Amino acid sequence: STPEIPRRIKHLKAKIRPSNIHVPKAKVPTRSDVSSTSTGPAGDPKWLLTAKSPGEPVSARIAAVNQVGGWLQSHLERAIRKTPGESEWFFEDKEVVAYLDAGLYGSMLDVLTHTVWSIIDAEQKGTEEGALKAKAGADLSGAAAGVLHNLIHPSLRAWNTRGQTQALLMTLQQVLQMPGCPLMHEKGVKVQQSDEVRQFTALAAKILSNPGALAVLTGHHTIARARLQLLRAIVQRGKEEDEKAKAQSQQSAMAVVLLQRCRVAGGYVDGAPAPAWEPVLDRLLDDEGADEMRAEAVAVFEQHNLLASAFVKFGFEGSVGL
């Protein structure tokens, strides 16, 4: 990290105006001593590559998604046998973490998004070939939606036992909704050197500079929960133009972008990502970086909007509380 950033943050903390946002204390989560023999199978990166390659036959892509589904099922079965809230959580299993870090969720979301657009394109052609392509695409998007459902569903399990995680995610989302957060503004709006921006920066730093909070917030269980909250808010917005649901969807999309970036910002140590917050916050306070992250938040929202529709289409919405 840049030495200048901690100095600037320290200065901002000294200048911060009182806020009604309470930052909860956090301790580094303890890892359960689970031996390597008790972890589930490893996920194969080749399955992800095949699944998202448009040049591969659709049958091969469906088979690859189904292999991912089989891998996921074996991990879910192991997780169900454990007591909720005790020992290792689904998202803390070594092999689950490794496969998620290899791009599991993003790959399946890309498969779904691109396939849905290709189905729309094929249907618009109105030809017999187009109809066959649309049917094959529907099978592929259905398989990808099933995997994504099974990846999000575990964030429901034992969530009420994760008080520290709940409090931290809620607080971070409140901070992201502050007027001084650059993500609250449209693309192209310059980042101002104002009291509001300083207050946002100081509060964001106060949360993320705590090693315990950073470890909790950048864990896959927290990111998955933010995704679930985003899906729920999108569905709520669809039912009625609810300002609260609109704010919730904004907060959740911004949290997903920020936390995913923080998870890998420290580079990789022994093949595993090292979380860091300073480079991410520094980038957010830069005009170009702010625009980059605003675009990411829009893309996250749009992809999850499509995913919410797919869940409804394939009958998955009930089991994830949509």
Domain check: are 186 and 299 in the same one?
Answer: yes
Domain that holds residue 256: 4-29+162-320
Helix or strand run (H / E) with residue 171: helix 163-176
Residue that is last in its domain, among 120, 140, 155: 155
* Pair 183, 217 in one domain: yes
pLDDT at 37: 47
Cβ atoms of 141 and 310 closer than 8 Å? yes
Last residue of a domain, one of 155, 173, 200: 155
**Tens digit of pLDDT for each residue in 63-113?**
999 999 999 999 998 887 877 665 567 888 899 999 999 999 999 999 999
* 263, 183: one domain: yes
Domain count, the chain: 2
Kindly write down the DSSP assignment for every residue of 219-274, as one continuous string: SHHHHHHHHHHHHHHHHHHHHS--HHHHHHHHHHHHHHHHHHHHHHTT-EETTEE-
Q: Looking at the structure, tell me whether residues 115 and 20 fall in a common domain.
A: no
Tell me what the mean pLDDT of segment 230-247 comes to.
Answer: 79
Q: Say yes or no: 10 and 105 in one domain.
A: no
Query: Are 69 and 40 found together in one domain?
Result: yes
Instruction: Give the residue from 155, 178, 206 where a domain finishes.
Output: 155
253: exposed, middle or buried (Cβ count in 10 Å: 0-12, 13-18, 19+)? buried
Looking at the predicted structure, is the pLDDT value of residue 34 above 50?
A: no
The stretch 17-35 carries a mean pLDDT of 56
- 204, 278: one domain: yes
Contact 64, 51 (CB under 8 A): yes
Decide if 16 contacts 198 (C-beta within 8 A). yes
Looking up tokens 């939606």 gives 145
Average pLDDT over residues 21-41: 60
Rounded distance between C-alpha atoms, residue 137 and residue 126, angstroms:
15
- Residue with the bigger pLDDT between 191 and 124: it is 191
Domain match, 118 and 175 both: no
pLDDT one-digit tens code per residue, 131-174: 888 888 889 999 999 999 999 888 877 677 778 888 999 999 99
What pLDDT does residue 9 have? 52
> Dihedral, CA atoms, 82, 41, 75, 314, nearest 10 degrees?
180
Q: Are residues 151 and 275 in the same domain?
A: no
Q: What is the pTM of this model?
A: 0.85
- Residue 4's pLDDT is 54
Q: Which has more confidence, 83 or 288?
A: 288
Q: Which residue has the higher pLDDT, 116 or 20?
A: 116
Could you tell me what percent of the chain has a pLDDT over 70? Answer: 83
Q: For position 320, what pLDDT does the model report?
A: 63
**Residue 1, pLDDT score:** 45
Are 80 and 222 members of one domain? no
Arithmetic mean of pLDDT, 103-129: 87
Provide CB contacts within 8 A for 121, sequence distance 6+.
none
pLDDT, residue 218, reads 95
Query: Span 214-221, mean pLDDT?
Result: 93
**Are residues 139 and 64 located together in one domain of the fold?**
yes
Q: Are residues 121 and 248 in the same domain?
A: no
How many Cβ atoms sit within 10 Å of the Cβ of residue 25? Answer: 10
